[in-house]
Structure 1
Amino acid sequence: MTVLATEQLNGAAVRGRRDVVRNKRRLLNAAGELLREDPKNASMPAIAEKAQLSVATAYRYFPTIEELHSAYLHSVLVNVRDYTLASPLHGTALFEDVVIRWVKLLETYGPAMIQVRSKEGFLTRLHADDDVIRTVHDGWERPIREVLRELGVPEDRFDFALMFYNALFDPREINDLLHNRGKLSEDEAIHTLIQAYYGALKGMAAG
């Protein structure tokens, strides 16, 4: 094979990879928009149409709607994971900073995330190494472990602490709290939720 032919093949491969990345991004963005605006009709054909791709192309990248939903959730959770890994903070300061980041993300992505909740329990998915829950684990492991140490909670309770976090800071519950917080400001509502989480951890340690 000539050098020119090799370069042409390499160039085609690069363009192919770029096409895959671009098309997947378009499908994820389209899925998020439809799940927010018209969740009852967020089918694969509707998502493909909104992404300006064929249904066959959509199914080539995501064989089931559930896989597309998981990929969408993962794309949001990666933001939290990367933010946590880059943070210079420690202890409760780290945890509370990441919570604020999470709530801000939910203001944009929460309504779509609510539509794609799993039917399986959190610990079951954690122990099965579910892709989405693994990303939750990776994003919150350091903040939660540092909170456990600061509050004097045994670190072997980490899985339960992560489960409690998932229950209290679930997108549906956060959305409900922010829209029904009464006289509390958003900051006060978040602070109250954080303190409730700390109380749960202390209760777990006492138990």
Structure 2
Amino acid sequence: MRSDTERNRKNLIQAAARLFEVAEGPISMTEIAHEAGVSVATAYRQFASVEEVLNTYRQDVGQLLLEFSERQQGSGVQRLESISRYWIRLVRERGAAMVPMRNRRGYLARLWEGADYLLVQANAVRPALRDAMQEQSLPDIGDKAVFLWNILFDPREIFDLLDTVGLSEQQVGSQLMAVLLGGLRGFAEGQGANAEPASHSAGREK
């Protein structure tokens, strides 16, 4: 990719993030282009839609989580807690731009169809989730574990706990981790003998 093309692409992603951080309504590609200092035609040469710009931003944030995850050591629970706490920090620093645009389709439907911005995040938490469940003598429930993690660690809910309730990042991490571990057990025990085979999601892991 040419240097000016790469620069325009990065500028558009950063411009979209700035706009979405303060947005109270829809953002147009024209607004993103203006904020980035490029023409609308240039913006559309890089991205087909506003959603694509935002999903690329989400994927970049998810990549940071994946790289952090791959450096972690220790037990599954220890790694899962470290990864989850790092995600809370990323949300506080970068997550406001990920809140305004919500997709009507379910998380697992989009994940299993291969949405890159969801895959990178899922790959960051899958190994630790699987190992944490094994340590608790729980059956592998596949991507239902990632589904539960995604519900609890949704940026909008994290901001609600931080800003509305007034919890610290440490408190949010501790309380959500406690709920997550209990929820994983509930999912596994509720599923009983019909637990999803590990192979269902194994092909999606990096």
The TM-score, its normalising length taken from structure 2, stands at 0.86
Please say which structure displays the higher CA radius of gyration. 1
Q: 2:25 maps to what in 1? A: 40
Answer whether contact 1:94 1:143 (CA < 8 A) is retained.
yes
Cα distance between partner residues in 2 of 1:75 and 1:188: 26
Higher-helix-fraction structure:
1
Partner-residue secondary structure (3-state), 2:2: helix
Choose the corresponding residue for 1:187, options 156, 159, 170.
170
Q: 2:156 maps to what in 1? A: 172
State the Cα distance separating 1:39 from its structure 2 match.
4.5
Runs of 4+ in 1 over 6 A off after TM superposition: none
Answer whether contact 2:80 2:128 (CA < 8 A) is retained.
yes
Q: 1:197 maps to what in 2? A: 180
In terms of mean alpha carbon deviation, does 144-153 or 26-35 score higher?
A: 144-153
Letter of the 1:138 counterpart = N
Cα distance between partner residues in 2 of 1:185 and 1:48: 36
State the Cα distance separating 1:85 from its structure 2 match.
1.3
Q: 1:82 maps to what in 2? A: 67
State the Cα distance separating 1:132 from its structure 2 match.
1.6
In terms of mean alpha carbon deviation, does 64-73 or 169-178 score higher?
A: 64-73
Cα distance between partner residues in 2 of 1:89 and 1:23: 41
Letter of the 1:173 counterpart = E
For residues 59-98 of structure 1, the aligned pairs below 5 Å read 59-98=44-83
For residues 71-150 of structure 1, the aligned pairs below 5 Å read 71-150=56-135
Q: CA RMSD in A?
A: 1.6
Closer, same or farther: CA 185–38 of 1 in aligned 2, 3 Å: closer
Letter of the 1:141 counterpart = R
Choose the corresponding residue for 2:41, options 35, 49, 56.
56
In terms of mean alpha carbon deviation, does 64-73 or 158-167 score higher?
A: 64-73
- Identical pairs, percent: 34
Closer, same or farther: CA 34–186 of 1 in aligned 2, 3 Å: same
Cα distance between partner residues in 1 of 2:171 and 2:24: 31
Cα distance between partner residues in 2 of 1:129 and 1:186: 31
After superposition, the C-alpha distances for 1:94-151 in whole angstroms (9 at most, x for unaligned) are 1111111101111122211001222210111122111122112211112211211112
Letter of the 1:109 counterpart = R
Q: 1:163 maps to what in 2? A: 147
After superposition, the C-alpha distances for 1:28-69 in whole angstroms (9 at most, x for unaligned) are 100000001235263111111111111100000001112112
Partner-residue secondary structure (3-state), 1:188: helix
Letter of the 1:188 counterpart = Q
Closer, same or farther: CA 203–116 of 1 in aligned 2, 3 Å: same
Answer whether contact 1:34 1:41 (CA < 8 A) is retained.
no
Cα distance between partner residues in 2 of 1:200 and 1:142: 17
Cα distance between partner residues in 1 of 2:175 and 2:86: 16
Cα distance between partner residues in 2 of 1:185 and 1:40: 28
The TM-score, its normalising length taken from structure 1, stands at 0.86
State the Cα distance separating 1:77 from its structure 2 match.
0.9
